[in-house]
């Protein structure tokens, strides 16, 4: 035994407690401790059965993910399989008592017990696929034996948690324990004494026939190919489960181990593990420590009931927070509320929410036409039309209407938050909360720190983002903040490529094959090409003379081709907004390029990807150096959650690390020679390339410096 696992006695039952905070991961020492505890139980004649339970907030969240990096760097490979066989072969029955989560190796551990009982709020799952791996401790072999092949495939490919009550229905959990879990588990264990203890690996009744399984597995492979395009782990999980249906348990475990190792050593897994820790890292702000006091956010208001405002109101309502939705006229408010109702109705239709849930949420949204009730709210999110004069007017109004201490947030995507804060007498209360469209769906929330935003306001918004189901990333106040500032050069290159001879579809296709959810030109059509056009017109005076600027999109806008909303943009659209290539666009762009003297040439998909993605990386490096993002990983998390960048590539900065910064830098220098100053390499990129370092190493240096 060791201090990570302890054994106590409740009369004739041994209680084996795993105590490895914060989540009882199976770090080195924990499996050894459990093994020793099982031995102690079996060797003690006074003990008749055992209960395994987790201390603290959870059962076991799985293998220690930090250990994977050590393994792939040449460290020892630890297998849990022998321990799990040891538990399953225990002479005395073992009851696994689950609260919180039994995830990954935690569920594999639980399945090796003879019985599983759980608190009603517990969750079980095999989320390994989200880390680019598959269950590696017999999960692909034991799970189908308990829940059947189809459910096991679903759990291992999607990685979603299953609530305990559902786990009972599927036979994964034997009983729910209301009230005290340990007391219930002890009673269950006493009842099991003297009865034959079922070993999961010996069970075959749910394994199904080859014919049934072939159909299930083929169906799952085709779903994965569509929904998890480019990901290797879900397919590997299906292969491992298939092996379990055709081979013995031992052979199935061998097949699983081989596939697990292949996945673990893949770039995809390394990227996804980077994302796992990155999502947690972004919550850490060096000068806003965890213990910073947070302000209460129990009632909020949203100003502006347009698409963004309505979506933001839904986000708060979905989190159970009452929200006032304000607009200037009844007609606008009716349209806004109508859209919210329609969105909710669609969610009910798609089975995402129940009607009762939606009814409750709608009750939480109160449409209002003035600021009268604003004195009672803790936070306001302004989401009016993107214009500085209007924003200032609204903030001056909020300053008058809101109580001291209320947070005044702006959903601006481009404007200067300090200038907005200047319209109030309390700039310390002002902050940017940049939601992404559709706000009720997209996970990203850029939290824009103004010069004077107080630490309490920052800490509150960071914490609130989690409550809202968002991932909050703190960014600095520069034009476009982090996400949109980088998106500019990315979309600029996409346009340049078309102006130089690439087909519109070829540009989008290359980036979709890279793994992006959508190509840059199709994204422009979706968002509305006129949005960027208007902004560019406003900022034209800032463009450096003699530096090449893209023209195709502006010209398309001059022809009224604004994208999907006008059914014409880079593509043409039918009435259902289905896109097809538009030969007119090709003709027009070729003509404009000839007039501008731009030589036409064949462009490879490799060049398309390099130009667009390295444009992101170069701008990202500038942002990092200028301090507008805290770490490279913050930029990655922004791109994965707000811009459809493929998670299995880890984000643009991580991707650049995997390519090698020297190579990225050299390619950028080539582009600079061919295409001019817009491609001047970021000084930080140059330095890291010369020092043969990575952005990940840069992040570590930052942490040390802080």
Q: Give me the residues that bind ligand 3H9 (CB under 6 A), please.
A: 22-23, 25, 58, 61-66, 80, 101, 103-105, 108, 127-128, 131, 135-137, 139, 277, 280
Q: Is residue 111 within 8 Å of 140, Cβ to Cβ? A: no
C-alpha 98/C-alpha 86 separation (Å) is: 20
Catalytic residue status for 108: yes
Nearer to ligand 3H9, 86 or 548 (CB): 86
Nearer to ligand 3H9, 54 or 336 (CB): 54
9 vs 66, beta carbon nearer ligand 3H9: 66
Across 333-406, where does the E strand assignment appear?
Answer: 365-368, 379-382
How many Å apart are CA 412 and CA 435, to the nearest integer? 9
CB of 481 to ligand 3H9, least distance (A): 24
Q: Which of left, alpha, beta for 13 (phi over 0: left; psi -120 to 50: alpha)?
A: beta
Q: Tell the smallest beta-carbon distance from residue 233 to ligand 3H9 (Å).
A: 11
Nearer to ligand 3H9, 25 or 337 (CB): 25
| Choice between 108 and 553, CB closer to ligand 3H9 | 108
Enclosing H/E stretch for 625: helix 605-626
Residue 387 burial (CB count, 10 A): 12
Can 602 be counted among the known catalytic residues? no
User: What are residue 365's DSSP bridge partners?
Assistant: 323
- Nearer Cβ to ligand 3H9, position 14 or 80? 80
174 neighbors 115 (Cβ within 8 angstroms): yes
Minimum gap (Å) between residue 146 Cβ and ligand 3H9: 16
User: In the numeric block, which tokens belong to residue 521?
Assistant: 């030109």
Partners of residue 63 on adjacent β-strands: 26
Distance (Å, rounded) from C-alpha 569 to C-alpha 559?
9
158 versus 378: smaller Cβ distance to ligand 3H9: 158
* CB proximity list for 200: less than 8 A, separation 6 or greater: 88, 111, 112, 142, 145, 146
| Cβ proximity to ligand 3H9, 275 vs 475, nearer residue | 275
Looking at residue 63, what DSSP letter applies? B
Q: Which helix (H) or strand (E) holds 176?
A: strand 175-176
Question: Is the Cβ of residue 137 or residue 275 nearer to ligand 3H9 in the bound state?
Answer: 137
**Catalytic residue (one of 32, 88, 108, 503):** 108
**Which residue number is nearest to ligand 3H9 in terms of Cβ?**
104
Nearest to ligand 3H9 of 104, 148 (CB atom): 104
**Rg (the chain; Cα; Å):** 28
Return the closest-CA partner of residue 295 out of 202, 400, 428, 397.
428
Question: Would you give the distance in Å from CA 610 to the centre of its chain?
Answer: 24
**Residue among 64 and 88 whose Cβ is closer to ligand 3H9:** 64
Tokens of 326: 């304000």
CA angle 373, 376, 381 (to 5 degrees): 80
C-alpha closest to that of 685 among 705, 703, 675, 671:
671
Burial bucket for residue 656 (CB in 10 Å: 0-12, 13-18, 19+): buried
The rounded distance, in Å, linking the Cα atoms of 307 and 439 is: 9
Sign of CA dihedral 562, 567, 568, 570: positive
Minimum separation from the CB atom of position 68 to ligand 3H9 (A) = 8
CB of 130 to ligand 3H9, least distance (A): 6
The least CB distance from residue 195 to ligand 3H9, in Å, is 29
The answer, yes or no, to whether the previous bond of 22 is cis (omega within 30 of 0) is yes
Smallest distance, ligand 3H9 to C-beta of residue 21, A: 9
> In whole angstroms, how far apart are CA 621 and each of 147, 312, 657?
48, 31, 12
Of 278, 189, 238, nearest in space to 471 by CA: 278
The residue (of 69 and 405) whose beta carbon lies closer to ligand 3H9 is 69
Tell me, what DSSP letter sits at residue 629?
A: B
* Preceding peptide of 455 cis, ω within 30°: no
Residues 521 and 411: their CA atoms lie apart, in Å, by: 25
CB of 64 to ligand 3H9, least distance (A): 4
What is the C-alpha separation between 125 and 164, in angstroms, rounded?
A: 10
The rounded distance, in Å, linking the Cα atoms of 42 and 39 is 5
Sequence-separated (6 or more) residues with CB below 8 Å from residue 509: 519, 605
Closest separation in Å from C-beta 588 to ligand 3H9: 50
Per annotation, catalytic residue among 128, 446, 500, 619: 128
The least CB distance from residue 60 to ligand 3H9, in Å, is 9
**Rounded to the nearest whole angstrom, what is the least distance from the CB of residue 181 to ligand 3H9 in the complex?**
17
The distance of closest approach from Cβ of residue 23 to ligand 3H9 in the complex, given in angstroms and rounded to an integer, is: 4
Pairing of strands 101-103, 115-118: unpaired
Copy the structure tokens of residue 565. 């909303």
What residues are labeled active site?
108, 128
């Amino acid at each position: 035994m060791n201090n990570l696992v302890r054994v106590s006695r409740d009369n004739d039952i041994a209680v084996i407690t795993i105590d490895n905070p914060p989540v009882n991961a199976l770090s080195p020492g924990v499996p050894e401790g459990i093994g020793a505890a099982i031995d102690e139980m079996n060797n003690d004649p006074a003990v008749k059965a055992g209960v395994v339970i987790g201390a603290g907030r959870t059962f076991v969240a799985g293998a220690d993910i930090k250990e994977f990096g050590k393994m792939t760097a040449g460290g020892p490979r630890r297998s849990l399989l022998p321990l799990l066989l040891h538990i399953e072969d225990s002479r005395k029955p073992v009851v696994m008592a689950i609260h919180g989560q039994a995830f990954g190796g935690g569920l594999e551990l639980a399945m090796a017990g003879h019985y599983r009982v759980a608190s009603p709020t517990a969750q079980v799952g095999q989320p390994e696929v989200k880390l680019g791996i598959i269950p590696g401790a017999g999960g692909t072999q034991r799970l189908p034996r308990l829940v059947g092949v189809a459910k096991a495939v679903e759990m291992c490919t999607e990685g979603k948690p299953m609530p305990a009550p559902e786990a009972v229905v599927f036979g994964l959990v034997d009983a729910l324990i209301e009230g005290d879990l340990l007391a219930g588990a002890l009673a269950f264990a006493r009842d099991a004494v003297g009865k034959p203890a079922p070993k999961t690996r010996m069970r075959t009744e749910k394994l199904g026939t080859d014919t049934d399984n072939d159909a299930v597995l083929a169906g799952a492979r085709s779903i994965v190919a569509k929904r998890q395009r480019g990901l290797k782990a879900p397919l590997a999980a299906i292969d491992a489960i298939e092996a379990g249906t055709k081979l013995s348990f031992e052979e199935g475990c061998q097949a699983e181990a081989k596939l697990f190792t292949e996945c673990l050593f893949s770039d995809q897994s390394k990227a996804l593990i980077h994302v796992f820790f990155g999502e947690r890292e972004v919550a850490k702000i060096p000068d806003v420590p965890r213990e910073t006091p947070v302000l209460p956010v129990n009632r909020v208001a949203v100003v502006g009931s347009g698409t963004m405002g309505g979506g933001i109101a839904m986000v708060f309502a979905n989190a159970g927070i009452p929200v006032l939705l304000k607009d200037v006229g009844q007609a606008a408010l009716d349209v806004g509320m109508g859209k919210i109702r329609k969105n909710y109705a669609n969610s009910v239709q798609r089975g995402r929410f129940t009607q009762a849930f939606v009814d409750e949420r709608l009750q939480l949204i109160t449409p209002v036409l003035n600021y009268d009730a604003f004195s009672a709210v803790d936070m306001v999110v302004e989401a009016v039309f993107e214009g500085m004069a209007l924003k200032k007017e609204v903030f001056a109004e909020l300053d008058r209407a809101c109580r001291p201490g209320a947070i005044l947030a702006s959903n601006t995507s481009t404007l200067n938050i300090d200038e907005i804060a200047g319209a109030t007498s309390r700039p310390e209360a002002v902050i940017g909360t940049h939601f992404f469209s559709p706000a009720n769906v997209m996970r990203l929330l850029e939290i824009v720190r103004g010069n004077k935003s107080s630490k309490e306001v920052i800490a509150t918004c960071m914490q609130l983002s989690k409550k809202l189901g968002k991932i909050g990333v703190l960014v600095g106040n520069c034009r476009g903040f982090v996400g949109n500032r980088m998106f500019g050069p990315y979309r600029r290159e996409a346009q340049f490529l078309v102006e130089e001879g690439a087909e519109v579809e070829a540009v989008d296709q290359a980036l979709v094959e890279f793994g992006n959810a959508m190509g840059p030109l199709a994204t422009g059509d979706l968002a509305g090409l006129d949005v960027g056009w208007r902004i560019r017109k406003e900022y034209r005076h800032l463009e450096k003379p003699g530096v090449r600027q893209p023209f195709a999109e502006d010209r398309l806008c001059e022809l009224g081709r604004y994208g999907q909303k006008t059914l014409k943009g880079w593509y043409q659209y039918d009435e259902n907004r289905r896109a097809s290539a538009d030969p007119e666009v090709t003709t027009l762009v070729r003509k404009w390029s000839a007039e501008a003297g731009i030589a036409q040439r064949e462009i490879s998909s490799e060049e398309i990807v390099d130009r667009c993605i390295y444009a992101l990386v170069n701008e990202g490096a500038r942002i990092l150096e200028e301090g507008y993002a805290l770490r490279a990983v913050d930029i990655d998390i922004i791109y994965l959650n707000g811009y459809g960048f493929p998670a299995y590539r880890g984000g643009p900065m991580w991707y650049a690390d995997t390519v090698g910064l020297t190579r990225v830098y050299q390619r950028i220098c080539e582009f600079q020679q061919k295409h001019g100053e817009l491609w001047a390499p970021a000084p930080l990129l140059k330095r890291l390339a010369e020092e043969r370092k990575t952005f990940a190493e840069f992040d570590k240096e930052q942490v040390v410096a802080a």
